[in-house]
Structure 1
Amino acid sequence: MKGVDRISGLPDSILGHILSFLSTVTAVQTSVLSTRWRDLFTLVSALNFEFEEQHMDWSKRHKSSTVKNFMCFVDRVLFFHRANVDKFRLKCGKRVDSDRIYGWISVALWRGYKHLDLNITLDKFTLPGALFTCRTLVTLKLDIGFVLDVPKGVHFPNLETLQLNSVEFFNDNSVINLFSSCSSLEDVVISRCNMKNISSFNISHHFLKKLTILDLCNSSKYWLMIDTPNLAYFRYNNCIIAGYSLENLTSIVCADIQFQIKDDDDLLVDITDFSKVFCIVGSLTLSLYSLQLLLRCESLPVFSTMIKLKICSGYHRWLKDGGLETLLSRSPELEKLSFPREALRSLPEEVPSCLLFKLKAIEISFFENNEECIRKAKYIIKNGGALENFTIFTYGYGDEKERLKISKVLLASPRKSNKCNFLIVCIVLLIYCLLFRTILFLVSKDK
């Protein structure tokens, strides 16, 4: 029926749920639509307060009034809000009063919010003590630019997801206290944290299922110690550190290990403990650096459970003692393989059994129309008995004639599998297509 406002006729609970998908500022702005909408913003189940100081290029007086308006806005929303809130997100910087921030976090904890996301940039700030004994928290995300000192007696009985970004740990005991307090923890992300006060970074948890460690900074003299018998997913992208101790990692299904190597001395590090993890995974992602470290282990294990392997690109000068061919000979069940052309250093005389009987999909990136690359591709299609999809990614602005030459040569070469399909893709053209589609999407969204 024309002229009928069906949305306003919905129950308050449904309208509050709809407004929860909007930013808190937009949700509050709906209060001016009519008397029906005046108080509906108080029913949203997610509060998101964000104050971007880096974009403030106005006068000092204007900055001061803007900061004051933001603080008053947060105060009013928290005062009038009467619904049960599940998510509370706060992002602000140094210009916002630290006492107000402390009060807002305390209110969120007192009201029993389940998902807390704090992105705070302050030189000195102490989190409310109630945070460390909050029984309702299910998700805790901390992106804070100050020292995190976790006291004894911490208790997060329902915390399942923990994300720490740009945190500086006070000492080793802070790390131990934190992880020992989370009896239900399943997913942990440690990213860009300051490790200068740490000698042993100990993650020991019986129920942890996912662990991600990325770009830890300001020190490489600490040990990483992991004891997680139920861990299924492990991602490690970090520089070489003093040492590693990985125990009871018997449930790993997927691993992504990318060491960041700075000089030749890093290649002398022993990663035997990591090789124990590799030999039980089903899916493995390695950088070229990680591959070289793995190949330098005294006894290379058999990867009897690995079905999927991806080698990420990097500086191939690190490959001095063999390459992917060594790993293939130890991976009898491999079905999917992706690697840059430089990872395959030589063509083994004895064809790996996985290539003869198991490999169904292979991708080669940074492929060029030269004798070496063509020889590697011919070797694969000649011996790939189970090969179904063979994808080649060329790099550059994509000369169509060059891609046609590659396809003609490969199509004319003998192949062992009659099911094999070839696909040659230009990476640069693919990136431009994706970028163009993204621009079209954003333009249409604005309209």
Structure 2
Amino acid sequence: MDATAMNRNLNDLPDDILLHILTFFPTLDAVQTSLISRKWRPLWSRLRFLKFSYEDFPLNEPPSDNRDSFAEFVDRALILRPHSPIQVFSLSFIYHDRFNFHVDSWVRCAVTHLQARELHLDFFIHREYHRTGETFHRNYDFPFAVLRNGVVGVLKLTRVDLTLPASVATMGLTSLSSLYLDEVYLTDQMVPDLISGCPNLDELELQHCWGMEKLKICSKRLKKLALGYFYDCDCRNTIEIDCPNLWFLKFDCCSFTQFVLKNGSCLVEFHIAIVHKRGEYYDLWSKVVKLLVQAPHVKHLNVQNWWLKFVISKDPFPKSFKLHNVSLLELQTGYTQYDLIGMAALLELCPNLETMILHYLHKIEEDESLPEELLNYPVKLNMPSLKHVKMLAFTGTEDEHNFVTMLKKQGVSLQKITLFPVKIDENSCHQYPPVVLRRKPRECAVTESSP
């Protein structure tokens, strides 16, 4: 290597490469690089990703409010930056009424001057940032109408009040394709109004939202829908989904008393996660699982292992029901006799399954007692097409080893078992390289390699 090459430093790199490096920096750090040299001084202002995070301003001890310093920094950065279009404007902040003018000006600047394609506003961040002694103040009131002046395609809002103009249903926000709302109060009418006002909305995710009694989601355009943590209201009776082009659906901890799915023929991904506790939670899980009857073309299924309880219930699937198109199954499960019988029941429904990913299932309660005839029941796993099994969070218990032995004996088409070993200590979890069991003629040899 010649002396010239050895003497090169970051300043010798092309601006495009330096800009790419800066995209991985929080905006605070990116701005500070302007002090390195004259070459670096203007680079941060050419970034297409502006990420202002209050987490970059360390909490003081004893606690004191440094939000003024943060607001001053954001103000100054937006004044100094040219009004050229950006891809993402992201703000994480602990809102207070006295910062309303600042936040309003930042949002207007991001939408109208910087023409941001994505707008992310998070006013929660983490519990440690919310001081218990602070007098209660209202949430930031997001001015939805400002979107008419921009090209925002992805909108993510956390802990805001959402003010919709009376004409929202006819606003025609054609640029907005993805909407994520977390900790937002919504009425029954606000959701259909939002969908009507965003005719090209492809993705909708609602997390920790409240205020709705009968949620109805109808859209000919919507393709992805995720709902999470709807646990707060006993009067919420029904959720009705009528989206003929929906291909992805996820329920995560939802406590609706009735689930209705219409036009589920395009659904190919179906995800269910309910707290694994008997009683009311199993009832919720079974209501969601029964929606599979309306979604015959699901290929990717992610579900918990409550299947033994389901198949012996009074209202299981029709006897002729099969999930013929499921080729990828993600199952949250244990490996007790109770779990294995449930797993066998699910595999009977999936004759064309090719890949099974097994996640560790945290159980709040012990398994229900099995009848005497099932305690020593020889479990047979029907998996004629299964080629690959991945066992995540493999801790090496006796039940896990017994299950691996069962797979090796019963998997006619099984080509590979990948174990992802972990060691769980009191305060940490250590991950180790995957161990791959590959099938050889008449045996399954152990090799350590990438899956």
Match of 1:38 among 19, 34, 41: 41
| TM-score computed with the length of structure 2 as normaliser | 0.73
**What secondary structure, in the 3-state scheme, does the structure 1 residue paired with 2:140 have?**
coil
Match of 2:205?
189
CA 1:366/1:40 → structure 2, altered by over 3 Å: closer, same or farther?
A: closer
Match of 2:247 among 232, 236, 242: 232
- CA drift of 1:363 comes to 5.2
Contact 1:258-1:289 within 8 A present in 2 as well = no
* 201-210 or 78-87: bigger deviation: 201-210
Q: Does 1:128 align with 2:173?
A: no
**What secondary structure, in the 3-state scheme, does the structure 1 residue paired with 2:78 have?**
helix
Contact 1:118-1:141 within 8 A present in 2 as well = yes
Kindly provide the amino acid, as one letter, of the partner of residue 81 in structure 1: R
Q: Deviations over 1:225-250 (max 9, x none)?
A: 21222222222221432111111121
Match of 1:421?
444
Aligned residues: 397
Contact 2:306-2:342 within 8 A present in 1 as well = no
Contact 1:46-1:85 within 8 A present in 2 as well = yes
| TM-score computed with the length of structure 1 as normaliser | 0.74
* 40-49 or 359-368: bigger deviation: 359-368
CA 1:31/1:243 → structure 2, altered by over 3 Å: closer, same or farther?
A: same
Contact 2:221-2:243 within 8 A present in 1 as well = yes
Match of 2:185?
168
CA 1:323/1:19 → structure 2, altered by over 3 Å: closer, same or farther?
A: closer
Contiguous gaps of at least 5 residues in structure 2: 125-136, 362-366, 426-436
Pairs within 5 Å for 1:97-112:
97-111=99-113, 112=115
In 2, the alpha carbon distance for the partners of 1:185 and 1:67 equals: 35
**What secondary structure, in the 3-state scheme, does the structure 2 residue paired with 1:178 have?**
helix
Bigger fraction of residues in helix: 1
**What secondary structure, in the 3-state scheme, does the structure 2 residue paired with 1:237 have?**
strand
- CA drift of 1:303 comes to 1.1
Match of 2:212?
198
Match of 1:72?
72
- CA drift of 1:348 comes to 8.2
Kindly provide the amino acid, as one letter, of the partner of residue 91 in structure 1: S
Contact 1:239-1:261 within 8 A present in 2 as well = no
- CA drift of 1:32 comes to 2.2
Q: Deviations over 1:58-94 (max 9, x none)?
A: 357xx45x33222221111111211322211111113
Q: Does 1:156 align with 2:157?
A: no
In 2, the alpha carbon distance for the partners of 1:175 and 1:290 equals: 33
In 2, the alpha carbon distance for the partners of 1:17 and 1:382 equals: 51
Contiguous gaps of at least 5 residues in structure 1: 399-409, 426-447
**What secondary structure, in the 3-state scheme, does the structure 2 residue paired with 1:329 have?**
helix
**What secondary structure, in the 3-state scheme, does the structure 2 residue paired with 1:299 have?**
coil
In 2, the alpha carbon distance for the partners of 1:367 and 1:21 equals: 38
Match of 2:81?
81
In 2, the alpha carbon distance for the partners of 1:233 and 1:176 equals: 19
Percent identity between the two aligned chains:
22
Q: Does 1:264 align with 2:279?
A: yes
- CA drift of 1:213 comes to 2.0
Contact 1:212-1:234 within 8 A present in 2 as well = yes
Kindly provide the amino acid, as one letter, of the partner of residue 32 in structure 1: L
Match of 2:349?
330
Match of 1:58?
61
Q: Does 1:310 align with 2:330?
A: yes
Contact 2:111-2:150 within 8 A present in 1 as well = no
Contact 2:195-2:219 within 8 A present in 1 as well = yes
CA 1:4/1:392 → structure 2, altered by over 3 Å: closer, same or farther?
A: closer
In 2, the alpha carbon distance for the partners of 1:69 and 1:347 equals: 67
In 1, the alpha carbon distance for the partners of 2:22 and 2:378 equals: 65
- CA drift of 1:42 comes to 2.2
TM-align CA RMSD: 4.1
- CA drift of 1:304 comes to 1.1
Match of 1:245?
260
In 2, the alpha carbon distance for the partners of 1:86 and 1:362 equals: 39
**What secondary structure, in the 3-state scheme, does the structure 1 residue paired with 2:69 have?**
helix
In 2, the alpha carbon distance for the partners of 1:248 and 1:218 equals: 28
Q: Deviations over 1:298-335 (max 9, x none)?
A: 52521111122232026989x69962222322322122
In 1, the alpha carbon distance for the partners of 2:222 and 2:78 equals: 34
Q: Does 1:213 align with 2:227?
A: yes
Match of 2:131?
none
In 2, the alpha carbon distance for the partners of 1:230 and 1:40 equals: 43
Kindly provide the amino acid, as one letter, of the partner of residue 184 in structure 1: N
- CA drift of 1:264 comes to 1.7
Q: Deviations over 1:136-183 (max 9, x none)?
A: 011111112x433434433421122222222222x1111111122222
- CA drift of 1:291 comes to 6.9
In 1, the alpha carbon distance for the partners of 2:30 and 2:181 equals: 29
* 154-163 or 340-349: bigger deviation: 340-349
**What secondary structure, in the 3-state scheme, does the structure 1 residue paired with 2:331 have?**
strand
